[in-house]
A and B are shown apart, each in its own frame.
Chain A
Amino acid sequence: MRRRVIPYFLLGPGTAWLLIFFVVPLYYMGKLSLESGFVGSLEFNWHWDNYKEALSEYDTQFIRSFVYAGAATLLSLIIAYPLAYAIAFKAGRWRNLMLFAVVAPFFTTYLIRTIAWETILSDESPVTEFLHAIGLVPSGHILATSAAVIAGLTYNFLPFMILPIYASLERIDVRLIEASKDLYASAAQSFWRVTLPLSAPGVVAGTLLTFIPAAGDYVNAQFLGGAGNRMIGNVIQSLYLSQADYPSAAALSFVLMALIMIAVVVYIRFAGSEALMGEENAP
Chain B
Amino acid sequence: MASEKDPRRITALLAVLVAAAALALGLAACGGGGGGGGIEGGGEKEAEKVKLEGKASGDLTISNWPLYIDKKTVPDFEKASGVKVKYIEDINSNEEFFNKMQPLLQQGESGGRSIFVLADYQVVKMHKLGYLQEFDKAGLPEVEKNLVSSLQHPAFDPNRDWTVPWQSGMTGVIVNKDTAPDVRSICDLFDPKYKGKVDFLNEVRETVPLVMKCEGVNPDEATEADWMKAIEKIKGAAESGQVRRFTGNDYARDLTSGDAVAVIGWSGDAVQLQADNPNLEWRMPTEGCMLWSEDMVIPTGAPNPTAAEAFMNFVYEPEVQANIAEYVNYVTPVEGVKQVLAKREPELAKNPLIFPSASFTKNCSATPVFKSEEEELKVIKAFDAVLNG
Which residue numbers of A lie inside 8 Å of B, CB to CB? 26-27, 30-31, 34, 37-46, 57-58, 60-61, 118-119, 122-124, 139, 141, 143-144, 225-230, 234-235, 238, 240-244, 269, 273-274, 277, 279-282
Contact = CB atoms under 8 A, between A and B. Distances in A.
B99 interface: yes
A51 to B, nearest CB: 13
Contacts of B275: none
A122 B257 contact: yes
A74 to B, nearest CB: 23
Interface of B: 1-3, 5, 7, 21, 24-25, 28-29, 32-33, 36-40, 93, 95-96, 98-100, 102, 106, 129, 196, 238-239, 241, 243-246, 253, 257-259, 377, 380-381, 384-389
A42 B7 CA distance: 40
Nearest to A125: B257
Interface centre among B24, B377, B389 (most CB of A within 10 A): B389
Contact of A122 (B1, B7, B259): B259
Given A41-B38, A234-B388, A274 B257 contact: no
Contacts of A225: 245
A279 B3 contact: yes
Contact of B25 (A31, A40, A282): A31
A277 B4 CA distance: 12
Main secondary structure of the interface of A (DSSP, over half): loop
B257 A27 contact: no
Contacts of A241: 93, 95-96, 99-100
A244 B99 contact: yes
Given A122-B257, A244-B99, A244-B102, A228 B129 contact: no
Interface centre among A31, A61, A124 (most CB of B within 10 A): A31
Given A41-B37, A143-B259, A234-B388, A279 B243 contact: no
Contact of B102 (A30, A40, A229): A40
Given A38-B40, A244-B99, A123 B106 contact: no
Contacts of A144: 196, 244-245, 259
A232 B329 CA distance: 38
Contact of B21 (A27, A124, A234, A277): A27
Given A41-B40, A122-B259, A235-B388, 4 more contacts: A227-B238, A238-B384, A241-B93, A244-B98
B201 to A, nearest CB: 12
B21 A227 contact: no
A34 to B, nearest CB: 7
A98 B351 CA distance: 57
A40 to B, nearest CB: 5
